Amino acid sequence: MIINGKEISEKIKSSLREEIFASKKKIRLAVIKVADDAVTEKYLEVKKKFAETVGMDVRIYEVPKDISTNKLREKISEVIHIEENNGVIVQLPLPEGINAQYILDAIIPEKDPDVLSSKSWGKFSMGKNKILPPVVGAVKIIFDENKIELKGKNAVVVGAGRLVGKPISTWLIEEGATVSVIDENTKNPEEYTKKADILISGVGKPKLITPDMVPDGVVAIDCGTSESSGQVMGDIDPAVAEKALIFAPVPGGVGPITIAVLFKNLFELSK
pLDDT of residue 102: 96
161 is in an annotated binding site: yes
pLDDT at 168: 97
How far apart CA 129 and CA 56 sit, in angstroms, is: 23
Taking CA atoms, 207 is separated from 25, 122, 135, 195, in Å, by 44, 33, 20, 19
The answer to whether 200 and 184 have CB atoms below 8 angstroms apart is: no
Q: What is the pLDDT of residue 49?
A: 95
Low-confidence ranges of the chain (pLDDT < 50): none
Query: What pLDDT was estimated at residue 41?
Result: 82
pLDDT for the residue 117: 97
* pLDDT (0 to 100) of residue 248: 98
Domains of the chain are: 24-111 (3.40.50.10860), 134-255 (3.40.50.720)
Contacts 24+ apart (CB under 8 A), 170-174: 170/124, 170/125, 171/132, 171/136, 171/139, 171/140, 172/198, 172/200, 174/127
Q: What angle do CA 145, 246, 144 make, to 5 degrees?
A: 20
The reported pTM is 0.94
Distance between CA atoms of residues 49 and 33, nearest Å: 17
- Tell me if 159 is assigned to a ligand binding site: yes
The pLDDT value given to residue 232: 85
Q: In the prediction, which pLDDT does 231 show?
A: 83
For residue 206, what pLDDT is reported?
A: 93
Give Cα separations from 106 to 89, 112, 153, 268 (angstroms).
10, 10, 37, 20
